[in-house]
Amino acid sequence: MAHAHESNTKRIWIVFGILSIITIVEVLFGIYKPKSLFFNNFLGMNLLNWLFIILTIVKAYYITWAFMHMEGEKKWFRRSIVWTVVFLILYLCFILLVEGDYIYGTYKAGHLKWIF
Amino acid sequence: MGATVISDEHALDGGPGPLGATYGKMMMWFFILSDALTFSGFLAAYGFSRFKFIETWPIADEVFNHFPFLHGVNAPMYYVALMTFILIFSSVTMVLAVDAGHHMKKTKVAFYMFLTIIGGFIFLGSQAWEWKNFIKGEYGAVETKGGSILQFVQKQEDGTFKRVALADFAATIPQARTQHKKNNGVWFVGESSLPTYSVKEVVEGFKSDASILIRTEFLNAEKHKTVLSREESLKRLTETTHVVEGANLIRNEYGHKLFANFFFFITGFHGFHVFTGVLINVIIFFNVLLGTYEKRKSYEMVEKVGLYWHFVDLVWVFVFTFFYLV
């Protein structure tokens, strides 16, 4: 391990600050739910939810890169973890969410009442 | 038995392994990778069910709106935000312990690990409190024969609706219904407890109080739950089969049955990870105190449990978003 023998306490606290601010912003958006975001959709989901997901990914980036020290690992070690997980999760979400939406349509248009 | 000379003969006992990482650290990363996929399986399944019942899914803000010592105050998400802070902060102390480990400062490592363990316990306690509120419920509801949940509201002066608890309007009708136990009938049918009110008491109480209306699970154009008129409410109430108070794995007063199931499984699985994380941290904490890593001249073990602990925090960030915010 050639890395991480200098103290990076300062960076840790900066990252803590960033994570806290993002959390506070998320909670504020969650409480006030601005109409312009909440009632406009993009790809079947409202903009507020997109904002939450983007902020969450930013938080995840800081936790893995700074706290879990991914930034100090070798490039291909990093990629073997991150690319694998990102690809598989995207695939899983794509397949399940599209299917969920399809079943929603089937229930709505079908003759059988489901929950009434 | 010819001696095979390999360049990294200490790779399996803590020496350098491939890609500049030791095997221990690398395997911790690959374990985290597989665990991350388990959690994404859970969360994607939640998304699947939510998209499937997009029009009737419960609104998390209305379910998780409790805060300690603020009884009856509507505090959406404050509590989970606090829990997020606790976990992020314990992540910070963990990373500070790892940092101190790089400088071989034993006391500092021990101190920061101790803070991390305390943070873990506080988080677990908070989650227990959250579960308690969720299981106990606040208002109660009824279930129809079609499996949908009907909640009760009252119109306020400003035109908005206020939730009404069953206790506020249910009539008292003396009756002799006893708890159905497994020894009275077929062995696999029973009930753990009787609800506080019978269906009849709720229906009669509803009929005698004209101000109460029924709120269905359906979201209207403003993304609020639809409130029925008094006539429609009375009509819907004739389909009632169960009184639902709080939540269990079969039915819950918040709405769709899967909502409580996912809540228990996702936060429960995460809580289990926090619990094992605390356990491992305690073990490593004692090892630090005993000077094990001082003798080993490397605090890498602290780094490895640190990775696991940060992963637990990472998962919570996603659970927070997908269960409470979205």
Helix/strand/coil (H/E/C) assignment for every residue in B112-180:
HHHHHHHHHHHHHHHHHHHHHHHHHCCCCEEEECCCCEEEEEEECCCCCEEECCHHHHCCCCCCCCCCC
C-alpha to C-alpha distance for A73 and A70, rounded to whole angstroms: 5
* pLDDT value for A2: 43
The count of CB pairs under 8 A between chains A and B is 154
Over pLDDT 90: what percentage of chain B? 73
C-alpha to C-alpha distance for B311 and B317, rounded to whole angstroms: 10
Chain B residues lying within 8 Å of A89, measured CB to CB: 36-37, 40, 44
B71 pLDDT tier (thresholds 50, 70, 90): confident
C-alpha to C-alpha distance for B85 and B147, rounded to whole angstroms: 38
* pLDDT value for B301: 93
In this complex, do A116 and B147 lie within 8 Å of one another by their Cβ atoms? yes
In this complex, do A30 and B324 lie within 8 Å of one another by their Cβ atoms? yes
Mean pLDDT of chain B: 90
A42 touches chain B (CB under 8 A): no
Cβ atoms of residues A66 and A13 within 8 Å: no
Residue closest to A81 by CA, chosen among B316, B92, B19: B19
DSSP reduced 3-state for B229? coil
Please, what are the domains in chain B?
Answer: 20-137+259-325 (1.20.120.80), 141-174+195-245 (no CATH)
In this complex, do B326 and A104 lie within 8 Å of one another by their Cβ atoms? no
* pLDDT value for B10: 65
CB nearest A115 (choices: B84, B148, B318): B148
Average pLDDT over residues A94-102: 95
CB nearest A116 (choices: B45, B88, B148): B148
Average pLDDT over residues B140-148: 94
- Taking CA–CA distances from B102, the nearest residue in chain A reads A5
- Taking CA–CA distances from A24, the nearest residue in chain B reads B81
- Taking CA–CA distances from A29, the nearest residue in chain B reads B325
pLDDT in tens, B164-215: 999 999 988 887 677 778 888 888 887 777 788 889 899 999 999 999 999 9
> Among A6, A11, A13, A27, which would you mutate to test the B interface (most chain B Cβ atoms within 10 Å of its Cβ)?
A27
B298 touches chain A (CB under 8 A): no
Tokens in use for B324?
């409470």
**pLDDT higher than threshold 50 for residue B22:** yes
Got the DSSP string for B296-318?
HT--HHHHHHHHHHHHHHHHHHH
* pLDDT value for B1: 47
Three-state secondary structure of A16-46: HHHHHHHHHHHHHHHHHCCHHHHCCEECCEE
Instruction: State how beta strands A45-46 and B212-219 pair.
Output: unpaired
* DSSP-assigned letter for residue B222: T
- ipTM of the assembly? 0.92
Chain A: closest CA distance from residue B2 (Å): 32
* DSSP-assigned letter for residue B250: S
Tokens in use for B19?
């890609």
Chain B: closest CA distance from residue A10 (Å): 10
CB nearest B310 (choices: A67, A74, A104): A67
DSSP reduced 3-state for B71? coil
* pLDDT value for A4: 47
DSSP reduced 3-state for B161? strand
C-alpha to C-alpha distance for A33 and B21, rounded to whole angstroms: 45
Question: For residue A113, what are the CA distances in angstroms to A103, A116, B102, B236, B259?
Answer: 13, 7, 63, 16, 20
C-alpha to C-alpha distance for B251 and B140, rounded to whole angstroms: 11
Average pLDDT over residues A97-113: 92
C-alpha to C-alpha distance for B225 and B58, rounded to whole angstroms: 9
C-alpha to C-alpha distance for B19 and B26, rounded to whole angstroms: 9
Least confident residue range of B56-65, B106-115, B192-201: B192-201
* pLDDT value for B2: 54
Chain B: closest CA distance from residue A91 (Å): 10
Tokens in use for A3?
């890395």
A109 touches chain B (CB under 8 A): no
**pLDDT higher than threshold 80 for residue B26:** yes
**pLDDT higher than threshold 80 for residue B284:** yes
A82 touches chain B (CB under 8 A): no
Residue closest to A4 by CA, chosen among B110, B292, B20: B20
Chain B: closest CA distance from residue A61 (Å): 9
- Taking CA–CA distances from B146, the nearest residue in chain A reads A116
Cβ atoms of residues A97 and B47 within 8 Å: yes
CB nearest A68 (choices: B19, B96, B307): B307
In this complex, do A60 and B314 lie within 8 Å of one another by their Cβ atoms? yes
**pLDDT higher than threshold 80 for residue B300:** yes
